[in-house]
Structures are given as C-alpha cells and as structure tokens.
C-alpha cells in the first residue's frame, strides 16, 4: 500500500520573521519509507489520554492509557494520542515483524470523531512529551496538523534537565522512520554545556527510508538533526527525505568542542540519495547550516538534491558563526583518504543576510572541500551575504544571482546575474519573495521533474525565476517537454 502526501496543506511561519501564511501543494509522490503509513484497515486501534480514568487498558478514549509508559505497543497497530502533558521520556523497543509499522498519531476529528468518549478538544489541544527513543525501525509519529512554526499536534520538548539528551533518538541500526507535524524543541539555544540535538540518528549499517516533514526543529545546543549512513538506491527509494521543515535557533553550546550544525550528515559513513527541499534554515550557529562530514574510507556521499530552501539570519550578533560555509563538506582527514561528494544538485535556493563586513565569521559561500565530481550549482540567489570564498566543488555553476554581497563574490560564471537593486519584496522584514521587475525574474535555467515547483508549490512554468520563489504570473503552467531545456 503506497502513501502520498495530501494534495494541499498549510505552511506557516512566525509573522515576526516576515514569512507569510500560505497554502503549499504537494511536490511529488513519496516512495519507499512511507509504504504502509496509512492507518491499516484491519489493525487494532489504541488510545492514550493524560488523566484518563476507566479501566486504563487503551481500548477506548474512556478507558485510555493515561501515559505512554502504560501502553503496550504492537506492530501494525495505531495509537491515537489526546492533547495533554505527558511528563515522560518514552523508550519503545518492539521486535520487528516484517514491514509492519507502529503508528503514533495525534487525535483528530477525521479519524476519531464519533468514537466512544471522544472529544474534539483532544485534537485541538497539543500533546506534549519530553522525548522519544525508538530502538527499532518502522515507526511513524505524526502530529497530523501544523507546519512552519505553528499548529503542530505533537510538541516534543526536551527540558533543561535533559540537557545531554535529544528530543527524538532513532537508535543505531534501526530504520525506516517517519516523523511529521511535530514541534521538536530542545532545552534552549546556548543553554549549558550538554550537546542536545532535535533528531539524532547515529546508524552504522546501511539503512534507508527516513522521512522528516512539516516539523519545527529548534532551540537545541548543537545540531538540529544528525543523520548517518542512509543509503538509498534512487530518489524514490531514498535514504532521507527532509522537506517542509523549519530548522532554527540551533547551536551555541557553551562547550566549544561541541559546536553544531543545522543538519550534520555522514561522519565516517556513506550517504546516498538524499533530498532536502522547501525547508527554512534560520538563525543557526556552527560550521554550516547543512554540513557533510567524512564519508569513510573508500566510500562517498552521492546523489543529493538541495532545492527550494531559504537560508537566512535575522540577528548576526547572536548567530555569529557560520564557518566555513552555509553548505559545507569537510576535506579528507585522518585515515579517510578516499572521501568524495558526487552528483549533488543545489538549485533554486535563496540565501539572505549571511554575514557582513562586521560579522566576519558568517559565510554565505557553498564550500565542498572534499574531492567532488558532477556537482551543479544553479538558479540560486544571494543577497546581503559575506562570501568567505568563491563557491568550491562544482563542475557547473550557472544562472546564479547576486546583489549587495561582500568579499569573494563569484564573477564570470555561466549566465551569472548581478543585480543593481534588491529583487526581494521586503528583505529587511525577511519577506524573501521576488518582485516584479527584479533581476531574478526570468533569468533561471529550466530544470525537469521534481524541481518544477517553487517553495510554495507554485508551478514554475516555461520561464524560471532564480531563487526559492517563482513570481506569480498568469502564465504559470506545467512546462512542456520542449520547454524543459537549458536556456
């Protein structure tokens, strides 16, 4: 049974950061990792509700388990969770049974209305849990509602007393997993010397099918997420699909040896067929916003798509370090002398406010230091960024645009666009939409397939703009085969 995302959904961000509310259409069919993520028709349904009385056997909302610890988890079953506070860190270790999933799902009217003892308040109230530790794969946790920075059904809050832990721990050797519609919050930016992460997946055998979508991952002292050794076979049978998330306010650990990244990928393991699309990376302190570490002796990171993302900083005095680059891969080190990063496409992203002449430890450059092959940097937009160096590690750089950047701004790359005024609607308020007449309009290279919609799901049509946003026009229509050519 295959599963795809809903045809439409809300994506929201804090109005204080200038991002608008909007509706976003689904971008593509979801492959391997979401097989079977629909609620099975014949599987048992169980109920968890804080403060429940009754028999507390999980058989109904009236007789719900009052805590996660009280629940018995069975492969193939669905566990509906009412809003409320669950002051517990839940460890779930259930032996695998083929490809049967465990579904942990927020209460919602579509699934639960009319059930004995159900109240719609169970859906409208957030369910807050301290942390989850999943020892085996084939587990889905779905908050059902929420995107951007609001409305999430689950709030997974790792408080200060758990400063050395993680909000979600996906155990070694386990997979696949799905995490969606969750507000994943650590103990606070720059709080203490413990190294907290939002999602931690340290795996040292090849796994695939990890999905993270519509989550807000924030207020952690080191990495928003850590993923290792996720090796897919294609972009439909992926290692990792990370989409429609906000990663923000991460890093700042007071132990300088525990510096962080927005996303830390690899670390002596191979990563392959990874997709990062339609995410916001905001206010991150560390080595970079997306970082690839050494892949291991004789292996490489390969087949990676990074597109339609927003990267920006609103407060350079607080989020004062992005170095060496906003997207970065380390060079070979130690015994890992055959590290490569191949077949990466970085396309139609927007980078804004990454560094200045005074904030000289923040860089908007993309630097792939390890040996590289067949990497492409296309249709990306930089404004008001400090470039620590020209971009490094690309066989092809084309149709990229720049305005009011400093230091080592690239020059003379293929079909480079240099603006004389901002192309953004209201950059100072962090509304990074492009505007009519701006230098990014119509200057992009047409790209096929999954790349054909923008950050908001708008079809790019036959004439592409540069950056994560496509300007709204009356000519937006799916490109014909003849239109999907290099400009």
Query: pLDDT (tens digit, 9 = 90+) per residue, 384-408?
Result: 999 999 999 999 999 999 999 999 9
The sign of the CA dihedral 440, 443, 445, 447 is: positive
The arithmetic mean of pLDDT across residues 415-442, rounded, is 97
The pLDDT value recorded for residue 33 is 38
Please give the Cα distance from 423 to 439 (Å, whole number). 6
Please give the Cα distance from 81 to 106 (Å, whole number). 5
Query: Is residue 362 situated within a structural domain?
Result: no
Of residues 225 and 203, more confidence is placed in 225
The pLDDT value recorded for residue 296 is 60
pLDDT above 70 for 121:
yes
The arithmetic mean of pLDDT across residues 74-97, rounded, is 95
| Range in 144-153, 172-181, 249-258, 420-429 the model is least confident about | 249-258
The range of the structural domain enclosing residue 147 comes to 1-260
Q: Contact 44/24 with Cβ under 8 angstroms?
A: no
Rounded to 5, what percent of the chain is helix, strand, coil?
5, 35, 60
Of residues 285 and 20, more confidence is placed in 285
What's the distance, CA 312 to chain centroid?
Answer: 15
Q: Is 460 helix (H, G, I), strand (E, B) or coil?
A: coil
Please give the Cα distance from 290 to 306 (Å, whole number). 10
Instruction: For residue 12, give Cα distances in angstroms to 22, 116, 362.
Output: 7, 33, 27
Of residues 23 and 307, more confidence is placed in 307
| Structural element, H or E, at residue 85 | strand 84-92
113 confidence band (pLDDT: 50, 70, 90): very high
The pLDDT value recorded for residue 20 is 32
Query: Is residue 81 situated within a structural domain?
Result: yes
Query: pLDDT (tens digit, 9 = 90+) per residue, 207-259?
Result: 899 999 999 999 988 899 999 889 999 999 999 999 999 999 998 776 666 67
The pLDDT value recorded for residue 175 is 76
Query: pLDDT (tens digit, 9 = 90+) per residue, 290-332?
Result: 999 876 655 688 999 999 999 999 999 999 999 999 999 876 5
Query: Is residue 134 situated within a structural domain?
Result: yes
Report cis status (omega within 30 of 0) of the bond before 469.
no
Please give the Cα distance from 31 to 265 (Å, whole number). 21
Query: Is residue 420 situated within a structural domain?
Result: no
Of 193-202, 332-341, 423-432, 455-464, highest mean pLDDT: 423-432
pTM comes to 0.88
The pLDDT value recorded for residue 233 is 95
Query: Is residue 12 situated within a structural domain?
Result: yes
Query: Is residue 254 situated within a structural domain?
Result: yes
| Structural element, H or E, at residue 213 | strand 210-213
The pLDDT value recorded for residue 189 is 79
Of residues 371 and 152, more confidence is placed in 152
Query: Is residue 332 situated within a structural domain?
Result: no
Please give the Cα distance from 240 to 221 (Å, whole number). 23
- The closest of 178, 187, 181 to 208, measured between CA atoms, is 178
| Range in 30-44, 96-110, 112-126, 189-203 the model is least confident about | 30-44
Of residues 19 and 180, more confidence is placed in 180
Query: Is residue 338 situated within a structural domain?
Result: no
The arithmetic mean of pLDDT across residues 10-24, rounded, is 33
| Range in 27-36, 64-73, 205-214, 218-227 the model is least confident about | 27-36
Q: How many domains does the chain have?
A: 1
The pLDDT value recorded for residue 171 is 79
Of residues 98 and 477, more confidence is placed in 98
- For the chain, the maximum distance between any two Cα atoms, rounded to a whole number of angstroms, is 73
Please give the Cα distance from 129 to 48 (Å, whole number). 12
Average pLDDT, the chain: 85
The pLDDT value recorded for residue 42 is 59
The pLDDT value recorded for residue 257 is 64
The pLDDT value recorded for residue 81 is 98
Of residues 94 and 159, more confidence is placed in 94
The pLDDT value recorded for residue 298 is 56
Please give the Cα distance from 197 to 132 (Å, whole number). 12
The pLDDT value recorded for residue 166 is 84
């Amino acid at each position: 049974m295959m599963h795809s995302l809903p045809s439409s959904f809300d994506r929201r961000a804090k109005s204080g950061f200038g991002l608008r509310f909007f509706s976003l259409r689904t971008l593509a069919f979801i492959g391997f990792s979401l097989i079977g993520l629909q609620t099975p028709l014949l599987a048992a349904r169980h109920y968890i509700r804080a403060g429940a009385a009754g028999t507390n056997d999980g058989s109904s909302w009236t007789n719900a388990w009052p805590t996660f610890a009280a629940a018995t988890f069975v492969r193939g079953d669905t566990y509906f969770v009412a809003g409320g506070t669950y002051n517990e860190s839940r460890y779930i270790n259930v032996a695998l049974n083929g490809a049967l999933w465990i579904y942990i799902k927020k209460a919602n009217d579509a699934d639960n209305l009319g059930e004995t003892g159900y109240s719609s308040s169970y859906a409208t109230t957030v369910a807050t849990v301290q942390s989850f530790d999943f020892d085996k794969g084939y587990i889905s946790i779905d908050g059902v509602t929420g995107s951007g920075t609001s409305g999430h059904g689950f709030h997974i809050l790792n408080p200060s007393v758990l400063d050395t832990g993680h909000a979600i721990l996906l155990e070694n050797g386990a997979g696949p997993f799905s995490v969606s519609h969750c507000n994943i919050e650590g103990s606070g930016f720059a709080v203490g010397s413990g190294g907290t992460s939002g999602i931690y997946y340290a795996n040292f055998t090849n796994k695939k099918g990890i999905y993270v979508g519509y989550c807000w991952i924030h207020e952690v002292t080191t990495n928003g997420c850590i993923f290792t050794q996720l090796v897919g076979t294609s972009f439909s049978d992926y290692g990792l699909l990370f989409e429609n998330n906000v990663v923000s306010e991460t890093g700042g650990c007071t132990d300088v040896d525990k510096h962080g990244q927005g996303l830390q990928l690899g670390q002596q393991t191979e990563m392959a067929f990874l997709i990062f699309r339609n995410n916001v990376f905001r206010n991150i302190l560390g080595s970079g916003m997306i970082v690839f570490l050494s892949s291991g002796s004789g292996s490489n990171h390969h087949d990676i798509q990074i597109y339609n993302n927003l990267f920006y900083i609103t407060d350079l005095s607080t989020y004062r370090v992005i170095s060496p680059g906003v997207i970065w891969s380390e060079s070979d080190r130690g015994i890992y002398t055959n590290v490569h990063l191949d077949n990466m496409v970085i396309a139609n992203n927007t980078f804004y406010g990454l560094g200045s002449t005074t904030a000289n430890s923040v860089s908007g450059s993309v630097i792939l230091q390890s040996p590289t092959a067949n990497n492409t940097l296309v249709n990306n937009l930089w404004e008001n960024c400090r470039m620590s160096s020209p971009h490094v590690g690309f066989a092809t750089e084309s149709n990229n645009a720049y305005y009011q950047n400093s230091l080592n701004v690239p020059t003379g790359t293929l079909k480079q666009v240099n603006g004389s005024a901002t192309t953004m609607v209201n950059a100072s308020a962090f509304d990074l939409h492009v505007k009519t007449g701006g230098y990014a309009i119509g200057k992009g290279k047409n790209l096929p397939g999954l790349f054909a919609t923008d950050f908001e799901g708008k079809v790019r049509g036959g004439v592409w703009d540069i950056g994560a946003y496509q300007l709204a026009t009356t000519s937006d229509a799916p490109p014909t085969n003849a239109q999907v050519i290099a400009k």
